[in-house]
Amino acid sequence: MTGDSGTALAYLLVAVCFIVALKGLSSPRTARVGNAVGAAGAVLAVVVILLVERPDRLLAVLAAMVVGGAVGAVAARRVVMTAMPQMVAVFNGVGGAAGATIAALEMVEGTPDTGRLAVAAFTVLIGAVAFSGSMVAFARLQELMSGRPLIYPGARWVFGLALAATVAAGVWLPWGGPTWLVGALVGLSLGLGVLFVLPVGGADVPIVISLLNAFSGITVAASGYVLENTLLIVAGTLVGASGTLLTRLMAKAMGRPVTNILFGAFAGGSTLGGGAETDRPVRSASAEDVAILLGYARKVIMAPGYGLAVAQAQHALRDLAGELERRGIEVSYAIHPVAGRMPGHMNVLLAEADVPYDKLKEMDSVNPEFKTADVALVVGANDVVNPAARSAPGSPIYGMPILAADEAKSIVFLKRSLRPGFAGIENELLHDPKTTLLFGDAKDSLGKLVTSVKSL
């Protein structure tokens, strides 16, 4: 079915293009060219398949491609950068659905042997889970449904039973199961994906997206096995590896095992806290006071969190950094891996605000620098600078690697209120004698700081 050796060679070339695309991402300098090479490879693959397969349904296939491509292009052009996690979730989902459809149709109409049937059943399962799971994640992130973990009585049992039924259907199929079982497998797998993502809440959704990314890759690789198509196997495996690595990195950045994040809610151990305000004393200051602190510093490190993006204050932060640099102050940005809503999200949000990428420093390289910084400016972040992660073994965030903002000579928090962050834990750093709070909307506060620094 792979056709002649010409097709096989073309596929090899396309696979190399994809590897070059991923290799390009090792530096922002080469990334864009790499992506273009990957896209060129994809175009080549599509041209080859249209020529080789000579589908008698060429027109219908082309029409479907045009419709899908147009939808994808418009979505890619319109999406705002804060909504990137939802976008990736949807793309994951449709990719998984396509792979599952291939396998389901091959099971119903093709004549695969037992081994291939088994892989096809697996493809349907994982592809359908990727699809329905991604749709739930999308609804969560788009705030079409609550971000809180959805726990109902007996959730553990419902999920366990659904999993058992799905696996049973998947195992029965290759061993002479009736054709209607394919439909049952699709339905069960779709349900399983929903049940899988529902109990995962708020801050943990990015991990689920990374994992569903891996699932969609594995779906493609498995459907490649079903069709005996090496290109699909290579491409899908690359994506599977990428999703798996990112999932592990994110879990590490949160200081929790992946299983705890995914199934923690089943055990009743959700990390989403209540979020009551504290009444302990803090030191707050006016924008003018903070401006003096910043304007006469030598070195300032910005620690942005997702609150910055919620307030749409990325450009205001960049303006403040620019103003400080004009005064000869060294400014850099400390990026925690979970600062955004997906791996690396904060970098994209700041890059969009024209922050040069060589100023974006990852946690491990920036942490030793806090000691020599005069001011750590924390904007819209809380848990990622909470020393409780280092010192309070009972805390839900204990073990999470954090930005060492507490080591700076002084710390400034731009905060709306004293409400704790996502994890719902009090932040000792807010009450530190070195800490100053500037209350207000991040965008307003940064605007005031820019004006005040200018007039120093």
Site for another protein in 22-81 (CB under 8 A): 22-23, 25-29, 31-32, 35-36, 38-39, 42, 45-46, 49-50, 53-57, 60-61, 64-69, 71-73, 75-77, 79, 81
36 secondary structure, DSSP code: H
Least CB distance from residue 94 to another protein, whole Å? Answer: 4
Q: Which stretch binds another protein (CB under 8 A): 196-204, 301-309, 341-349, 418-426?
A: 341-349
- Contact status: 194 vs another protein (CB under 8 A): no
- Residues 93-112 binding another protein (CB under 8 A) are 94-95, 97-99, 101-102, 104-106, 108-110
- Contact status: 184 vs another protein (CB under 8 A): no
SS (H, E, C) 286-322: CHHHHHHHHHCCCEEEEEECHHHHHCCCHHHHHHHHH
Q: How far is CA 115 from CA 112, 189, 223, 228, in A?
A: 8, 20, 13, 12
Q: Which stretch binds another protein (CB under 8 A): 346-354, 374-382, 385-393, 414-422?
A: 346-354
- Contact status: 299 vs another protein (CB under 8 A): no
Residue 362: how many CB atoms within 10 A of its CB? 13
- Residues 241-280 binding another protein (CB under 8 A) are 241-243, 245-246, 249
Of 269, 268, 270, 347, nearest to 306 by C-alpha is 347
Of the candidate residues 169, 293, 303, 360, the single one contacting another protein (CB under 8 A): 360
- Contact status: 157 vs another protein (CB under 8 A): no
Report the SS3 class of residue 436: strand
- Residue 33 or 456: the one with the smaller Cβ distance to another protein is 33
Residue 173: how many CB atoms within 10 A of its CB? 23
- Residue 91 or 266: the one with the smaller Cβ distance to another protein is 91
Structure tokens of 417? 């209120």
Q: How many residues does the chain have?
A: 456
Q: How many CA atoms lie within 13 A of 98 on its CB side?
A: 16
Asked if 447 contacts 423 with a C-beta cutoff of 8 angstroms, the reply is no
- The residues near 333 (Cβ < 8 Å, ≥ 6 apart) are 301, 302, 303, 304, 321, 350, 355, 359, 360, 361
Least CB distance from residue 396 to another protein, whole Å? Answer: 24
Catalytic residues: 383
Asked if 249 contacts 337 with a C-beta cutoff of 8 angstroms, the reply is yes
- Contact status: 317 vs another protein (CB under 8 A): no
- Residue 45 or 430: the one with the smaller Cβ distance to another protein is 45
- Helix, strand, coil percentages in the chain from 3-state DSSP, rounded to 5: 65, 5, 30
Q: Which stretch binds another protein (CB under 8 A): 20-28, 135-143, 173-181, 289-297?
A: 20-28
Number of residues lying near another protein (CB under 8 A): 114
Least CB distance from residue 54 to another protein, whole Å? Answer: 8
Least CB distance from residue 369 to another protein, whole Å? Answer: 17
- Residue 95 or 170: the one with the smaller Cβ distance to another protein is 95
